[in-house]
Structure 1
Amino acid sequence: MPHLVIGYSRNIHNLSQEKLLKHVNHQLIATGLFQAKDLKSRIHKDEVFVIGDNDDTQGYIHAQLSVLSGRTEEQKQQLSQILLQALLSFKDYEAYTLSVQVCAEILEMPQNQYAKQSIQY
Protein backbone atom coordinates (compact mmCIF):
# COMPACT_ATOMS: atom_id res chain seq x y z
CA MET A 1 0.00 0.00 0.00
CA PRO A 2 -0.51 2.68 -1.36
CA HIS A 3 -1.76 2.21 -4.91
CA LEU A 4 -1.63 4.96 -7.53
CA VAL A 5 -3.73 4.79 -10.69
CA ILE A 6 -3.47 7.53 -13.32
CA GLY A 7 -5.87 7.75 -16.23
CA TYR A 8 -5.69 10.24 -19.07
CA SER A 9 -7.75 11.02 -22.15
CA ARG A 10 -6.66 9.75 -25.55
CA ASN A 11 -6.52 13.29 -26.95
CA ILE A 12 -3.40 13.91 -24.87
CA HIS A 13 -0.52 12.76 -27.06
CA ASN A 14 3.00 11.48 -26.52
CA LEU A 15 2.65 11.30 -22.75
CA SER A 16 5.72 9.59 -21.34
CA GLN A 17 3.90 7.13 -19.09
CA GLU A 18 6.83 5.63 -17.18
CA LYS A 19 8.44 9.04 -16.75
CA LEU A 20 5.20 10.42 -15.26
CA LEU A 21 4.88 7.48 -12.85
CA LYS A 22 8.47 7.89 -11.67
CA HIS A 23 8.00 11.65 -11.28
CA VAL A 24 4.87 11.25 -9.16
CA ASN A 25 6.32 8.35 -7.15
CA HIS A 26 9.36 10.47 -6.28
CA GLN A 27 7.13 13.25 -4.94
CA LEU A 28 4.97 10.86 -2.91
CA ILE A 29 7.95 9.02 -1.42
CA ALA A 30 9.49 12.35 -0.41
CA THR A 31 6.53 12.94 1.95
CA GLY A 32 7.90 10.27 4.28
CA LEU A 33 4.40 8.83 4.64
CA PHE A 34 5.24 5.63 2.73
CA GLN A 35 8.10 3.24 2.18
CA ALA A 36 9.21 3.28 -1.44
CA LYS A 37 8.83 -0.50 -1.77
CA ASP A 38 5.14 -0.29 -0.85
CA LEU A 39 4.08 2.23 -3.52
CA LYS A 40 2.58 0.54 -6.57
CA SER A 41 1.73 2.72 -9.58
CA ARG A 42 0.16 2.20 -12.98
CA ILE A 43 -1.18 4.33 -15.79
CA HIS A 44 -3.61 3.91 -18.65
CA LYS A 45 -4.85 5.93 -21.59
CA ASP A 46 -8.65 6.04 -21.78
CA GLU A 47 -9.44 5.36 -25.42
CA VAL A 48 -13.18 5.82 -24.93
CA PHE A 49 -14.33 8.82 -22.90
CA VAL A 50 -16.85 11.64 -23.06
CA ILE A 51 -16.58 15.01 -21.35
CA GLY A 52 -19.89 16.81 -20.95
CA ASP A 53 -21.90 16.37 -24.11
CA ASN A 54 -18.88 15.30 -26.16
CA ASP A 55 -16.70 18.39 -25.77
CA ASP A 56 -13.60 17.44 -27.78
CA THR A 57 -11.73 20.59 -26.76
CA GLN A 58 -11.08 19.16 -23.28
CA GLY A 59 -8.88 16.40 -21.94
CA TYR A 60 -7.92 15.16 -18.51
CA ILE A 61 -5.27 13.59 -16.33
CA HIS A 62 -6.83 12.04 -13.21
CA ALA A 63 -4.85 10.40 -10.43
CA GLN A 64 -6.33 8.26 -7.67
CA LEU A 65 -4.16 7.38 -4.70
CA SER A 66 -5.56 4.64 -2.46
CA VAL A 67 -4.15 4.64 1.06
CA LEU A 68 -4.95 2.58 4.12
CA SER A 69 -7.17 4.16 6.76
CA GLY A 70 -5.50 5.81 9.71
CA ARG A 71 -4.12 8.91 7.99
CA THR A 72 -5.15 12.26 9.42
CA GLU A 73 -7.25 14.68 7.37
CA GLU A 74 -4.21 16.94 7.16
CA GLN A 75 -2.07 14.12 5.76
CA LYS A 76 -4.71 13.27 3.14
CA GLN A 77 -5.04 16.93 2.15
CA GLN A 78 -1.26 17.19 1.95
CA LEU A 79 -1.13 14.09 -0.26
CA SER A 80 -3.80 15.42 -2.61
CA GLN A 81 -1.95 18.73 -3.00
CA ILE A 82 1.43 17.03 -3.54
CA LEU A 83 -0.13 14.69 -6.07
CA LEU A 84 -1.83 17.56 -7.89
CA GLN A 85 1.37 19.64 -7.96
CA ALA A 86 3.36 16.64 -9.26
CA LEU A 87 0.86 16.22 -12.11
CA LEU A 88 0.85 19.95 -12.89
CA SER A 89 4.64 20.17 -12.97
CA PHE A 90 4.92 17.29 -15.46
CA LYS A 91 5.03 18.68 -19.00
CA ASP A 92 6.23 15.71 -21.08
CA TYR A 93 3.13 15.43 -23.29
CA GLU A 94 1.31 17.28 -26.05
CA ALA A 95 -2.18 18.68 -25.56
CA TYR A 96 -2.25 21.08 -28.53
CA THR A 97 -5.18 23.46 -27.99
CA LEU A 98 -6.94 21.39 -25.32
CA SER A 99 -8.11 22.58 -21.96
CA VAL A 100 -6.76 19.83 -19.67
CA GLN A 101 -8.45 19.09 -16.35
CA VAL A 102 -5.84 17.83 -13.87
CA CYS A 103 -7.32 16.05 -10.84
CA ALA A 104 -5.94 14.30 -7.75
CA GLU A 105 -8.07 12.11 -5.51
CA ILE A 106 -7.22 10.32 -2.27
CA LEU A 107 -9.21 7.17 -1.58
CA GLU A 108 -9.17 5.52 1.82
CA MET A 109 -9.27 1.74 2.21
CA PRO A 110 -10.18 0.28 5.61
CA GLN A 111 -7.13 -1.49 7.08
CA ASN A 112 -9.23 -4.41 8.29
CA GLN A 113 -10.42 -5.05 4.71
CA TYR A 114 -7.01 -5.03 3.01
CA ALA A 115 -4.90 -8.17 2.81
CA LYS A 116 -1.34 -8.41 1.51
CA GLN A 117 1.26 -11.15 1.39
CA SER A 118 4.71 -10.87 -0.17
CA ILE A 119 6.08 -14.02 -1.80
CA GLN A 120 9.82 -14.46 -2.29
CA TYR A 121 10.86 -16.51 -5.34
Structure 2
Amino acid sequence: MPHLIVDYSRNIHNLGQEKLLKHLNQALITTGLFIASDLKSRMFKDDVFVIGDNDDSQAYIHARLFILAGRSEAEREKLKDSLFTALKNFKGYEAYTLNVQLSVELVEIPTANYAKTEVQL
Protein backbone atom coordinates (compact mmCIF):
# COMPACT_ATOMS: atom_id res chain seq x y z
CA MET A 1 0.00 0.00 0.00
CA PRO A 2 -0.45 2.59 -1.48
CA HIS A 3 -1.65 1.64 -4.96
CA LEU A 4 -1.93 4.12 -7.83
CA ILE A 5 -4.09 3.20 -10.82
CA VAL A 6 -4.27 5.48 -13.84
CA ASP A 7 -6.90 5.07 -16.56
CA TYR A 8 -6.92 7.04 -19.80
CA SER A 9 -9.06 7.21 -22.91
CA ARG A 10 -7.80 5.57 -26.10
CA ASN A 11 -7.99 8.83 -28.06
CA ILE A 12 -4.93 10.14 -26.20
CA HIS A 13 -1.91 9.21 -28.31
CA ASN A 14 1.74 8.53 -27.59
CA LEU A 15 1.25 8.67 -23.84
CA GLY A 16 4.54 7.92 -22.13
CA GLN A 17 2.99 5.46 -19.71
CA GLU A 18 6.05 4.51 -17.69
CA LYS A 19 7.27 8.11 -17.74
CA LEU A 20 3.92 9.32 -16.35
CA LEU A 21 3.86 6.66 -13.63
CA LYS A 22 7.41 7.55 -12.55
CA HIS A 23 6.47 11.24 -12.57
CA LEU A 24 3.40 10.62 -10.38
CA ASN A 25 5.31 8.26 -8.07
CA GLN A 26 7.99 10.88 -7.54
CA ALA A 27 5.39 13.48 -6.62
CA LEU A 28 3.90 11.12 -4.04
CA ILE A 29 7.28 10.09 -2.65
CA THR A 30 8.26 13.75 -2.29
CA THR A 31 5.35 14.25 0.14
CA GLY A 32 7.31 12.18 2.66
CA LEU A 33 4.16 10.21 3.51
CA PHE A 34 5.21 6.92 1.88
CA ILE A 35 8.16 4.60 1.72
CA ALA A 36 9.08 4.51 -1.97
CA SER A 37 9.20 0.71 -2.19
CA ASP A 38 5.63 0.46 -0.85
CA LEU A 39 4.12 2.42 -3.77
CA LYS A 40 2.73 0.27 -6.58
CA SER A 41 1.54 1.96 -9.78
CA ARG A 42 -0.06 0.78 -12.98
CA MET A 43 -1.85 2.20 -15.97
CA PHE A 44 -4.67 1.07 -18.23
CA LYS A 45 -5.84 2.41 -21.58
CA ASP A 46 -9.63 2.31 -21.85
CA ASP A 47 -10.35 1.07 -25.36
CA VAL A 48 -14.09 1.24 -24.83
CA PHE A 49 -15.44 4.45 -23.32
CA VAL A 50 -18.15 7.04 -23.88
CA ILE A 51 -18.07 10.60 -22.61
CA GLY A 52 -21.47 12.30 -22.45
CA ASP A 53 -23.45 11.69 -25.62
CA ASN A 54 -20.40 10.21 -27.39
CA ASP A 55 -18.56 13.51 -27.68
CA ASP A 56 -15.36 12.43 -29.44
CA SER A 57 -13.70 15.80 -28.77
CA GLN A 58 -13.33 14.76 -25.12
CA ALA A 59 -10.62 12.63 -23.48
CA TYR A 60 -9.52 11.86 -19.94
CA ILE A 61 -6.73 10.77 -17.63
CA HIS A 62 -7.98 9.67 -14.22
CA ALA A 63 -5.68 8.74 -11.33
CA ARG A 64 -6.95 6.79 -8.30
CA LEU A 65 -4.75 6.56 -5.25
CA PHE A 66 -5.69 3.84 -2.77
CA ILE A 67 -4.37 4.39 0.75
CA LEU A 68 -5.04 2.79 4.11
CA ALA A 69 -7.42 4.70 6.35
CA GLY A 70 -5.99 6.70 9.22
CA ARG A 71 -4.30 9.64 7.53
CA SER A 72 -5.17 13.13 8.72
CA GLU A 73 -7.22 15.45 6.55
CA ALA A 74 -4.10 17.57 5.96
CA GLU A 75 -2.14 14.50 4.80
CA ARG A 76 -4.93 13.41 2.46
CA GLU A 77 -5.13 16.92 1.03
CA LYS A 78 -1.35 16.97 0.53
CA LEU A 79 -1.46 13.66 -1.34
CA LYS A 80 -4.36 14.71 -3.54
CA ASP A 81 -2.83 18.09 -4.33
CA SER A 82 0.62 16.66 -5.08
CA LEU A 83 -0.82 14.02 -7.38
CA PHE A 84 -3.12 16.49 -9.15
CA THR A 85 -0.35 19.03 -9.68
CA ALA A 86 1.95 16.36 -11.09
CA LEU A 87 -0.78 15.13 -13.44
CA LYS A 88 -1.51 18.66 -14.66
CA ASN A 89 2.20 19.35 -15.24
CA PHE A 90 2.83 16.20 -17.28
CA LYS A 91 2.91 16.93 -21.01
CA GLY A 92 4.14 13.58 -22.39
CA TYR A 93 1.20 12.80 -24.66
CA GLU A 94 -0.62 13.97 -27.79
CA ALA A 95 -4.22 15.09 -27.61
CA TYR A 96 -4.54 17.63 -30.40
CA THR A 97 -8.02 19.15 -30.70
CA LEU A 98 -9.17 17.22 -27.62
CA ASN A 99 -10.43 18.60 -24.36
CA VAL A 100 -8.59 16.38 -21.85
CA GLN A 101 -10.28 16.03 -18.48
CA LEU A 102 -7.72 15.39 -15.73
CA SER A 103 -8.95 14.02 -12.42
CA VAL A 104 -7.63 12.54 -9.20
CA GLU A 105 -9.48 10.37 -6.70
CA LEU A 106 -8.22 9.45 -3.25
CA VAL A 107 -9.70 6.20 -1.91
CA GLU A 108 -9.29 5.15 1.70
CA ILE A 109 -9.35 1.44 2.46
CA PRO A 110 -10.26 0.40 6.01
CA THR A 111 -7.25 -1.34 7.54
CA ALA A 112 -9.48 -4.30 8.46
CA ASN A 113 -10.11 -4.84 4.73
CA TYR A 114 -6.47 -5.07 3.63
CA ALA A 115 -3.77 -7.67 4.10
CA LYS A 116 -0.21 -7.71 2.82
CA THR A 117 2.85 -9.88 3.17
CA GLU A 118 6.14 -10.32 1.33
CA VAL A 119 7.41 -13.68 0.12
CA GLN A 120 10.68 -14.72 -1.43
CA LEU A 121 10.88 -17.89 -3.48
Structure 2 distance, partners of 1:57, 1:108, is 33
Structure 2 distance, partners of 1:104, 1:82, is 10
In the alignment, which residue of structure 2 is the partner of 1:106?
106
Identity %: 61
Q: TM-score, normalised by structure 2?
A: 0.98
In the alignment, which residue of structure 1 is the partner of 2:39?
39
In the alignment, which residue of structure 1 is the partner of 2:89?
89
Task: In structure 1, give the amino acid aligned to 2:10.
Answer: R
> Superposed, which structure 2 residues align to 1:1-121 within 5 Å?
1-121=1-121
Deviations 1:80-117 (A, max 9, x none): 11111111111010001100000011000001111001
Per-residue deviation, 1:50: 0.4
Q: TM-score, normalised by structure 1?
A: 0.98
Per-residue deviation, 1:120: 1.6
Deviations 1:13-40 (A, max 9, x none): 0000000000000110010100001000
Task: In structure 1, give the amino acid aligned to 2:47.
Answer: E
Q: How many residues align?
A: 121
Structure 1 distance, partners of 2:66, 2:49, is 23
RMSD (CA atoms): 0.6
Task: In structure 2, give the amino acid aligned to 1:89.
Answer: N
Per-residue deviation, 1:2: 0.1
Q: Runs in 1 of length 4+ with deviation above 3 angstroms? A: none
Structure 2 distance, partners of 1:31, 1:74, is 12
Structure 1 distance, partners of 2:2, 2:10, is 26
